[in-house]
């Protein structure tokens, strides 16, 4: 069953971020959330370095470890029995009453309006399918903006949940991926086996 989730643009710097490290089928990850919703998921090679990078992305925000909610969310994200995540969009200013692990899942993302449009388009790509950068550009009403779309795809702050791994080149090759082509291929294979 699909879950209805929300993407909300981060307007101001959060004062506090909850974070947790967890395991995924593709390696160790770091999750972070504001009081409004999930704001970051990154792959991790070194936990101290990952926390430093998170603090640099959100200067002035205090970091607090969450040993319960975010690890539970990580388990839910990669649970094949729960179905694929689907994220819908709400406009800024719409009251959001959920926490990061309740339904609907809120993505509270820092990005430009263009980036948010691209990430919204990525959320519409079904589990087990791929689309081209050109498709994304057309989907957001800016055909020919493939390069800008590629840059926005690469800036995705929420590993796996916003499925930038489902965007490939028009010739069918995987193309670039922030976490490396081997990880991208592994995720796509894992999703294919999940459907």
Of the candidates 87, 118, 153, 164, the residue annotated as catalytic is 164
DSSP 145: -
Question: Which run of H or of E encompasses 156?
Answer: none
126, burial (CB in 10 Å: exposed 0-12, middle 13-18, buried 19+): middle
Beta strand extents in the chain (DSSP E only)? 3-9, 16-24, 27-33, 38-43, 62-65, 85-89, 106-109, 131-132, 167-168
Active site (annotated) includes residue 39: no
Distances (CA, A) of 182 to 46, 135, 159: 19, 23, 15
Cα separation of 95 and 112, whole Å?
A: 21
In angstroms, the CA 25 to CA 82 distance is 15
* 19's tokens: 């974070």
Q: Please, what's the largest Cα pairwise distance for the chain?
A: 45
Report, as residue numbers or ranges, the catalytic residues.
164
């Amino acid at each position: 069953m699909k879950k209805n989730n929300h993407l909300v643009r981060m307007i101001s710097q959060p004062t506090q971020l909850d974070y947790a490290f967890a395991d995924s089928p593709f390696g160790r990850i770091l999750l972070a959330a504001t009081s409004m919703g999930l704001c970051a998921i990154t792959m991790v090679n070194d936990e101290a370095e990952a926390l430093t990078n998170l603090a640099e992305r959100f200067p002035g925000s205090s970091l607090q470890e969450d040993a319960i909610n975010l690890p539970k969310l990580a388990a839910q994200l990669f649970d094949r029995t729960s179905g694929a995540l689907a994220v819908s969009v709400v406009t800024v200013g719409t009251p959001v009453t959920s926490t990061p692990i309740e339904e609907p899942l809120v993505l509270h993302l820092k990005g430009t309006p263009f980036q948010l449009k691209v990430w919204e388009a990525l959320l519409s790509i079904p589990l087990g399918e791929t689309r081209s950068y050109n498709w994304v550009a057309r989907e957001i009403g800016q055909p020919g903006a493939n390069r800008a779309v590629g840059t926005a795809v690469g800036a995705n702050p929420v590993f796996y949940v916003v499925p930038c791994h489902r965007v490939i080149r028009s010739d069918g090759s995987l193309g670039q991926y922030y976490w490396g082509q081997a990880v991208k291929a592994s995720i796509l294979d894992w999703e294919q086996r999940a459907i």
